[in-house]
A and B are shown apart, each in its own frame.
Chain A
Amino acid sequence: MELSGYGAAAPERLDATFAALANPTRRAILARLAEGEASVLELAEPFAMSQPAISKHLKVLERAGLISRGRDAQRRPCRLEAGRLAEATEWLVGYRRFWEQQFGRLDALLEELKATPKTKPHPPRARGDDR
């Protein structure tokens, strides 16, 4: 059994989110926006990229719900939508991390069960193989 990617968010939305994150420039843009909103020009500055190229990345991020754009027609400032990031990470904690967490709880439960030997096992007939 496996539970890591158990997407609570719609799978296609997560696909879009992770596709958007699969690019270093877009991650750098998100990191920049984590410091506060910025215009396309301001975002383009640290990169050796044209404004249209940056705009393309912003469109991908916007479609993935990771950023939003302001209404101001001139500047259209971009801001980070941290909620989507949190949603994407909640279940996608990773296969290993997920199971380590579950099994950590199981360790605690087993310790408790060992200390209370009265716990009744399955009645034999209920667990028998029917063959």
Chain B
Amino acid sequence: MTSPAKLEITTPSELEIAMTRVFDAPRALVFDAFTMPELVQRWLLGPDGWTMPVCEIDLRVGGRYRYVWRRERDGSEMTMTGVYREVAPPERVVSTERFDDPWYEGEAVVTLFLAERDRTTTVTQTMLFESRETRDAVLASGMESGVERSYERLDEVLAAQAATARR
């Protein structure tokens, strides 16, 4: 692709976060990349230094999935599991999402929607949370100004630290 596609993040309702992104590939391919374990494991790796050693997907209504991420440095792990509620390839998948070591309250319901146009695919992922507080907390985990600014501050602090160390 010539330039990175833009990721749009919106809040369609008080309980939701929606993410939209265009991919330069036909819908069937994008659907596979989101639903075949051997493909998911090649891109949904988490931050640098993490891998996804476990990716189990039983893609049918009532079927479960289980994703495990591992930090190579110290072996710490993160597990996400859920159940499929709707499976309509190559257009739509609805599933629940929950973390073993939860960083947000309860369970979210995630709708993956794929629309194809001119051999490109627009992916919309909508997360529905149990409360507005939870939704807001997820947003605050970085997307919005507060923590994002803290993060930039951290960058500055770390850069200063590195500069000092070099002196």
Interface residues of A (CB under 8 A from B): 1-8, 11, 18, 21-22, 27, 30-31, 34-36, 80, 82, 85-86, 88-111, 113-114, 119, 121-122, 126-131
> Known contacts A96-B9, A105-B43, A109-B39: does B143 contact A126 (CB below 8 Å)?
no
> Known contacts A5-B142, A80-B161, A121-B32: does B60 contact A130 (CB below 8 Å)?
yes
User: What's the dominant secondary structure at chain A's contact region?
Assistant: helix
Chain B residues, CB < 8 A from A121: 28, 32
Chain A residues, CB < 8 A from B24: 107, 110-111
> Known contacts A86-B158, A109-B42: does B47 contact A122 (CB below 8 Å)?
no
> Known contacts A31-B156, A122-B36, A131-B61: does B47 contact A113 (CB below 8 Å)?
no
Q: Which of A1, A89, A103, A131 contacts B154 (CB 8 A)?
A: A89
CA distance A48 to B87 in the complex (A): 61
Which B73-121 residues have C-beta < 8 A from chain A?
76, 78, 80, 86-89, 97, 99, 101-104, 108, 110, 112
B58 nearest CB across to chain A (Å) = 9
Chain A residues, CB < 8 A from B25: 110-111, 113-114
CA distance A90 to B142 in the complex (A): 12
Which B104-150 residues have C-beta < 8 A from chain A?
104, 108, 110, 112, 125, 127, 138-139, 141-143, 146-148, 150
CA distance A85 to B52 in the complex (A): 24
User: What's the dominant secondary structure at chain B's contact region?
Assistant: mixed
Chain A residues, CB < 8 A from B21: 99, 103
Chain B residues, CB < 8 A from A109: 33, 39, 42-43
The answer to whether B60 touches A127, judged by C-beta atoms less than 8 angstroms apart, is yes
- The chain B residue sitting closest to A129, CB to CB, is B87
- The chain B residue sitting closest to A124, CB to CB, is B89
Chain A residues, CB < 8 A from B151: 89, 92-94
B143 nearest CB across to chain A (Å) = 4
Sample of 15 further A-B pairs with CB below 8 A, known A6-B46, A82-B157, A105-B45: A1-B97, A2-B127, A3-B44, A6-B69, A31-B160, A34-B161, A94-B151, A95-B138, A95-B139, A96-B142, A102-B45, A103-B21, A106-B43, A111-B1, A127-B35
The answer to whether B1 touches A107, judged by C-beta atoms less than 8 angstroms apart, is yes
Q: 7 A-B residue contacts at CB 8 Å? A: A18-B150, A27-B157, A34-B160, A94-B142, A94-B151, A104-B4, A127-B89
CA distance A5 to B104 in the complex (A): 9
Chain A residues, CB < 8 A from B47: 90-91, 93, 98, 101
The answer to whether B150 touches A21, judged by C-beta atoms less than 8 angstroms apart, is yes
